[in-house]
Amino acid sequence: MSLHLEPVIRLPQTSVAEGVFAAGDRVLPEETPVALTYNGSTHAVMMASPADLEDFALGFSLSEGIIAEPSELASMEIVEHDLGFEVRMWLQESSSGAYRSRRRAMAGPVGCGLCGVESLAEALRPASKVAGALQVPPRFIATAMADLAKAQRLNREARAIHAAALWRPEQGLIAIREDVGRHNALDKLAGALARADEPCSASMVLLTSRVSVEMVQKAAHMGAPIIVAISAPTALAVRVAESCGLTLVAVARQDSFEVFTHHERIKRLGL
């Protein structure tokens, strides 16, 4: 039996307003368990939107340091089960030894974010250094976030889905991925960009969520010099962004935003 799930689904509901009951329906986001396995062993089980799972698996593998390059994946197969999806990945022999060593440091399968990481040092591993020289004027931030909102196809239908996108001056929106999980959306974006061999060093990563430390780590690993988010960052995310050279812009609204780290990449008016 296979699921044949779509990212969004229309379900019946009853609206109640001023004591009046009315039957109707609403489009809701779908979510399903996705098991990520390497060389026959389950590494993580994530709740995700059932779309772009190849991008998700590749992006997760890269951002978690399981592989350094897409070519280190020998094969990938998506298998549908009654309860969810399994993404079966096999590593090239040259990468298998490093993965086995990493597995011995893991407490077991994880459900989301950093759950299940045994070592505090592993959870707070240093983010990749970012050296991109990109500079943008303030109006580019507003333009990029407006482009992001227009491109959120699934969220327009269900109003409960996160997005991550790559935006580049002179080109605009390069790629966007959506998911019920903010980490998943960013991993899907990373996978899509890696698959297309699309560089991030002269681009901004856009997020519809708050910025937690793992979002900074993932964006830095992609090599993007600027991250822009609708919501606020955590204090730890700010410290990590500062240390790795990433410009962190958050609380981005239609006519304002806040810069927390490496202000030099945001051009002051008149300069």
Give how far the C-alpha of residue 41 lies from the chain's centroid of Cα atoms, to the nearest Å: 23
Please state whether 129 falls in left (phi above 0), alpha (psi between -120 and 50) or beta.
beta
Sheet of 247-250: strand order equals 172-179, 162-168, 204-207, 226-229, 247-250, 258-259
Of the residues 112, 115, 200, 244, only one is catalytic, namely 112
| 8 A C-beta contact, residue 207 and residue 186 | yes
Sheet of 41-48: strand order equals 41-48, 32-38, 85-91, 73-80
User: Is residue 200 annotated as part of the catalytic site, yes or no?
Assistant: no
Q: How many CB atoms lie within 10 A of CB 195?
A: 14
Give how far the C-alpha of residue 223 lies from the chain's centroid of Cα atoms, to the nearest Å: 14
Please state whether 218 falls in left (phi above 0), alpha (psi between -120 and 50) or beta.
alpha
Residues annotated catalytic, as ranges: 112
